[in-house]
Amino acid sequence: MFYLELLLVGLVWGCTYAMMALGLTLVYGLLRILHVAQATVFTLGAYVGLLVANHTGSLAGAFVAAALAAGLLGPLVYRFIYRPILDKPPFVALVASIGLLIAMEDGFRLLFGPYGLSFAKNTWFTTAVGFGGLSLNLVQVWIAVAAVVLLSLFALFATRTRAGVAWRATVSDPSIAESFGVGVSGVRHTSFFIASVLAGVAGVLVGLLNNLVEPGMGSVISYKGLAIIVLGGLGNVPGTLLASLLLGVVESFGTVYLGKLLDRDAIAFLFLILVLMIRPQGLLGKAR
Amino acid sequence: MLELRGFACGYGLIRAVDGLDLTAPEGMITALLGPNGAGKTSTIMAIAGQVQAQAGSVRFAGADLAGLGPAARTRLGIALAPEGRRIFPDLTVGENLLVGGYTRSSAESRATEESVLALFPRLRDRHRQRAGTLSGGEQQMLAIGRALMAGPRLLMVDELSLGLMPAMVDQCFGALLDLRRRGIAILLVEQNTHRALEVADHVTVLVSGRKAYEADGAQARQDPALVDSFLGMKEPA
């Protein structure tokens, strides 16, 4: 029972990673940019969600506002930060991305203070839900539900709509897709929008899970996300999801058995380093 | 349908093709032949708008194509089955066709898809299969089918036979003959001169970016000068 509970908790963490890493892998697959600044979209979502929740008392409103704010910020980052430097080598975009992340983090610090804010009323956090002897809090349940629903919606978009198919074609061969009339600019903005909505919602959920929203909350999850997309086989969506869940579970068990030696994030990165030493092409990547 | 005059294209300062006059009339197969590196693919990619034309004019159905991007040319009725086929390997056969018809309404696309599947029944059998798992011949059919989905008046096929089994080459050439009967202009680039000559109504040979030989199909089929033009025994005119 104890193991099962650890597994569940790990999968829930994995779901938050999946929501972050999916966006990173979308952006990487399309533009070959390591979108570190995704962390800032995540943090913005968390702050917007918290402010709306604390002012209106509505968590539903908090999620909608966070998704909108994040969904607006992401395409703007593409439009004004990445697009002007697309023809430069990839590290230029990476440096710009890290720069934006640092600037935004300090922006949050100036606006909202360095110590972080808590939700005034976080009933999900204090409500335990039992499943035949297992116990999770309501935030963890909602994280799992949100991840499944949002990722399923994404899968439906990618496989069942004209725009989604065109989007996948563009990832595969941009110049041929464009020659058949697919608007590459629209595809890119859409990708940033999807990635950002996922990150924004994940931000609110993680804020609720820790009952804390603070300026630097995006950094660690974003770095883990970058490691996860490498582990998943860069640009490989199923591999990314698998790697996210796996990392969550490893962290969950690791904190129990190695927690005295190493903290949770150290365990995560140690695991990622070890796996990448054995399978540098990623879990589902093809050997080169 | 398609008319090139004094056409030149290339990459940067390098001219891949220079001073080329070429026409591809409707209902005819025009073969553009020549050895490796002669500039055949560059020519086709420039007509498709993927490579910059450097001099001369390219006219299609009376309109000058200068300054038009690849998608605009597709809308005018120029479609390409490119070298190496470049199908979308992670998309299904049906999804590849959907992208081919992206410029058109879904009603038009459905009707065209039906005719493409009638032309290549194997694509119907493989409709839900990932395109990357198809055989080379099936991928070539898909590349041609995807181009046809755009409803072209000019179909350009680059290296149709390359790497395909002879039976597959027969099927693909058979499809071209069918399309010719429907009045589509076909511009065919081939290294397999023998196969191209069997179907061509008009033959142009490029050597080192310049026209080395030109004749109608019947004449070219019995003309020893055609072989000479390849071996470089005759100076380009």
Strand A134-137 to B2-11 pairing: unpaired
pTM reported for the whole predicted model = 0.87
Q: Let me know the angle formed at the C-alpha of B199 by B198 and B203, rounded to the nearest 5 degrees.
A: 90
What was the pLDDT predicted at A223?
85
Do residues A3 and A136 touch, judged by C-beta distance below 8 A? no
Residue type, B204: T
Closest CA to A37 of A47, A46, A27, A29: A27
Whether the predicted pLDDT of B234 surpasses 80: no
H or E, element range at B24? strand B14-24
Q: What is the DSSP letter of A287?
A: P
What ranges do the domains of chain A cover?
16-233
**From A165, which residue of chain B is nearest by alpha-carbon distance?**
B95
**Whole-number mean pLDDT of chain B?**
92
Which positions in chain B touch A166 (Cβ < 8 Å)? Answer: 98-99, 102
Contacts of B142 in chain A (CB under 8 A): none
Inter-chain CB proximity B88 and A175 less than 8 Å: no
Q: Which residues from A are below 8 Å from B150, CB to CB? A: 180-181
Looking at the structure of chain B, the number of domains it has is 1
Q: Is residue B237 included in any domain, yes or no?
A: no
The complex's ipTM?
A: 0.90
Q: What residues have CB less than 8 Å from B90, skipping those under 6 apart?
A: A168, A172, B130, B131, B132
Sign of the alpha-carbon torsion through B122, B124, B128, B131: positive
Residue A206 touches partner B, C-beta closer than 8 Å: no
Residue B199 amino acid letter: V
Proportion of chain B above pLDDT 90, given as a percent: 78
Find the CATH number of the domain harbouring B54.
3.40.50.300
Contact A240, A232 (CB under 8 A): yes
Q: Which amino acid is at B214?
A: E
Place of tokens 């935004």: A104
In a domain, B94, yes or no: yes
pLDDT tens digits, one per residue of B74-96 = 999 999 999 999 999 999 999 99
Residue of chain B whose Cα is closest to the Cα of A160: B95
- CA distances to A43, A56, A202, A240 from A48, rounded to whole Å, are 9, 12, 12, 27
Q: Which residues of chain A have pLDDT under 50?
A: 288
Q: Distance between CA atoms of A192 and A73, rounded to whole angstroms? A: 9
Size of interface A-B (CB pairs under 8 A): 60
Residues spanned by the domain of B183: 2-38+45-191
Are B43 and B17 in contact by the 8 Å Cβ rule? The answer is yes
Q: Do B99 and A169 touch (CB under 8 A)?
A: yes
pLDDT value at position A286? 63
